[in-house]
Amino acid sequence: SAAEAGLYTASDQILLLSPGNVEAALINSTAAMVVEFYASWCGHCIAFSPVYKSLARDIKEWKPAVNLAAIDCAAEDNRKVCTNYRIRGYPTIKFFHAYSKADSAGLAFKDFSRDVRSLRHKIIDKLESHVEAWPPACPPLEPTSQAEIDIFFETNNVQHLALIFEDAKSYIGREVTLDLLQFENVAVRRVLNTEAGLVTKLGVTEFPSCYLYYPGGNFTRLPVNIEARTFYSYALQRLPGVVRSGRPPSFTTFFHINTTEEPWRPFNKSRVYMSDLESTLHYSLRVELAAQPVFKGEALRSLKKYISVLAKYFPGRPVVMNLLKSVNSWLQNETSGQISYEAFKDILENSAQIPNAALPEGVRWVGCQGSQPHFRRYPCGVWTLFHVLTVQANSTGGSDPLEVLSAMRNYVQNFFGCRPCAEHFENMAMESLMEVNSLSSAVLWLWSRHNRVNNRLAGALSEDPKFPKIQWPSPEMCSACHTVKENGEHRWNREQVLPFLLSYFSSSSILTDYLE
Ligand code: FAD
């Protein structure tokens, strides 16, 4: 299809426009729209596409107020749409106000620079240019005043009011306001440094800085490591009582009714548990793989790679390792070109022949427990398993930097039951797996792609409200991992992230609580 041939895919969080959906997206929409008109053959468009994708990740939380879209004008089917919008060169970016009329051609971004930060600022400028109907989901972006604050809690039913003090040129207040758009019980307003009354009342001396303001005039400074957008947004999203809006309300009842569930196992949220890893192996080897009656060709090669990586790098208990090694040696010696699941299963269970070899039956989720039975568990275990394996390959000095990741890629592509997940993961692998050129870059690649998935899934229905998807590790878990560039944009400090991952997923930090 046209969408697949273009520069973006469904996993990019960019609305892919086509003649069938363009009117619904651009005409009379409740959200403003930013549209990139591109041609898939155009070199500048190809070069720009990673920036546009990063922008989509960066302002994902703003979607109800302003959404990103793209259309490939080189696709035959789309020609007419692009002509109607009078597109002459690529890439062209246009902004469509909320409630645009059918005859609106949009506002072109003139001489836009190709970086996320300035595009984001341009989008805010354009949002503020709404004269008639303001997008209903968009909170006020103009600076607030003492007078407004005085009556704020009379007219707004929220627990926390965050005031961001900044100078007129700063966009942080507006960015954080939009970052919090989908959260309840918190409102954000910007206060200019020239608003003398409030500045004096709160004793503000640093710009930017963020204060929490409460009914009756109490206030407190929001503690953050660095005075910058992402640190404010992260801290505000996690204030007590702040929740994502639009959650299904059935949550608590469901949780209480469900008494047949096994008892909750208390655990430390910042540790890895062997019980999750063994549960993952159980489910993968006894349930997921059982969906394949026979392994041959690509599937057989994938199975062999997966088991060999497990036998080599899984930091398991001796009994489990004995089993994995015996299954592996059987499998690698099998030359018939075809193996039935039954034969595989026999070896897996029949290791009675081999003394002291077994994989415990059943699952005991610990760090991967979810607040409801359909949350977390196996997919959480799969991520954890492969993080552990990349780290283990790094510390035992494997020879091929891609050994673990290509085993994972093949496993996911051939066997992982979540098919949309497999497709998204394959897109990421195709896009950037070739950048991995060392064992440590393999560890970092998986970490950063996992964060992309987290970004995409934050707020999705599959997200366990008790375990919100974050850009991981949080500032609380690793403050040195987070830093900012000179212009205040968040930057991961990879020199710190790597040792953090190596230690977090190392075999010596894995807890053995709850094992049989
Ligand atoms: P998970 O994301 O499963 O993470 C497990 C644990 O790993 C976390 O609790 C945390 O301790 C740690 N962690 C979190 N982030 C990182 C990181 N960046 N680096 C290292 N460790 C980290 N679901 C979908 O709905 N759509 C998809 O497209 C999709 N794709 C997937 C692709 C793969 C390959 C896998 C394995 C899963 C995918 N899932 C997808 C499932 C989804 O990613 C989660 O696994 C699931 O929602 C459970 O989430 P969780 O809260 O347990 O955390």
ipTM of the complex: 0.99
3-state DSSP assignment of residue 311: helix
Name the segment(s) of the chain with CATH classification 1.20.120.310: 255-509
Domain 2-128 has CATH 3.40.190.10: no
Confidence of residue 131 (pLDDT cuts 50, 70, 90): confident
- Angle 120-123-128 (CA atoms, 0-180°, nearest 5)? 130
Handedness of CA 15, 19, 24, 27 (dihedral sign): positive
For position 254, what pLDDT does the model report? 46
Query: CATH number of the domain at 146-244, out of 3.40.50.2300, 3.40.50.720, 3.40.30.10, 3.40.50.150?
Result: 3.40.30.10
**What CATH superfamily classification does 255-509 receive?**
ERV/ALR sulfhydryl oxidase domain (1.20.120.310)
As a three-state string, the secondary structure of 312-375 is HHCCCCHHHHHHHHHHHHHHHHCCCCEEEHHHHHHHHHCHHHCCCCCCCCCCCCCCCCCCCCCC
Average pLDDT of the residues in 232-249 = 88
For position 261, what pLDDT does the model report? 67
* pLDDT at 4 exceeding the cut of 60: no
The set of residues, in sequence order, having a beta carbon less than 8 Å from that of 282 and lying 6+ positions away, is: 359, 360, 361, 362, 363
Best of 372, 383, 450, 469 for a ligand 1 pocket test (most atoms within 8 Å of beta carbon): 383
Average pLDDT of the residues in 262-272 = 93
Name the segment(s) of the chain with CATH classification 3.40.30.10: 2-128, 146-244
Q: Is 9 in the pocket of ligand 1 (CB under 6 A)?
A: no
Average pLDDT of the residues in 87-113 = 94
For position 249, what pLDDT does the model report? 52
The set of residues, in sequence order, having a beta carbon less than 8 Å from that of 235 and lying 6+ positions away, is: 210, 222, 223, 224
Average pLDDT of the residues in 153-179 = 96
* pLDDT at 226 exceeding the cut of 80: yes
What's the CA gap between 451 and 460, in Å, rounded? Answer: 15
* Pairing mode, strands 107-108 and 482-484: unpaired
Is 138 annotated in the active site? no
**Residue that has been written with the tokens 């090694």 in this structure:** 325
For position 352, what pLDDT does the model report? 58
Average pLDDT of the residues in 269-295 = 97
Long-range contacts of 127-136 (CB under 8 A, 24+ apart): 127/32, 127/65, 127/66, 129/97, 130/32, 130/97, 130/98, 132/97, 132/99, 133/97, 133/98, 133/99, 134/98, 135/30, 135/31, 135/32, 135/64, 135/65, 135/66, 135/98, 136/30, 136/98
Residue identifier of the C-alpha nearest atom 15 of ligand 1: 472
* pLDDT at 2 exceeding the cut of 80: no
258 CA distance to ligand 1 middle (Å): 25
pLDDT in tens, 326-362: 999 999 999 899 999 999 999 999 765 788 899 999 9
Mean per-residue pLDDT of the chain? 93
34 CA distance to ligand 1 middle (Å): 29
Q: Is 380 in the pocket of ligand 1 (CB under 6 A)?
A: yes
What's the CA gap between 296 and 330, in Å, rounded? Answer: 16
Average pLDDT of the residues in 134-161 = 94
Ligand 1 atom at minimum distance from 454 CA: 2
* pLDDT at 512 exceeding the cut of 70: yes
For position 253, what pLDDT does the model report? 43
36 forms beta bridges with 70, 93
* pLDDT at 1 exceeding the cut of 60: no
* pLDDT at 129 exceeding the cut of 80: yes
Residue identifier of the C-alpha nearest atom 5 of ligand 1: 380
pLDDT in tens, 470-485: 999 999 999 999 999 9
Q: Is 457 in the pocket of ligand 1 (CB under 6 A)?
A: yes
Q: Which entry of 45, 82, 368, 478 is annotated as an active-site residue?
A: 45
Residue identifier of the C-alpha nearest atom 43 of ligand 1: 453
158 CA distance to ligand 1 middle (Å): 31
Average pLDDT of the residues in 77-98 = 95
410 CA distance to ligand 1 middle (Å): 18
Average pLDDT of the residues in 246-268 = 64
Confidence of residue 268 (pLDDT cuts 50, 70, 90): very high
Confidence of residue 256 (pLDDT cuts 50, 70, 90): very low
Average pLDDT of the residues in 28-47 = 95
29 CA distance to ligand 1 middle (Å): 32
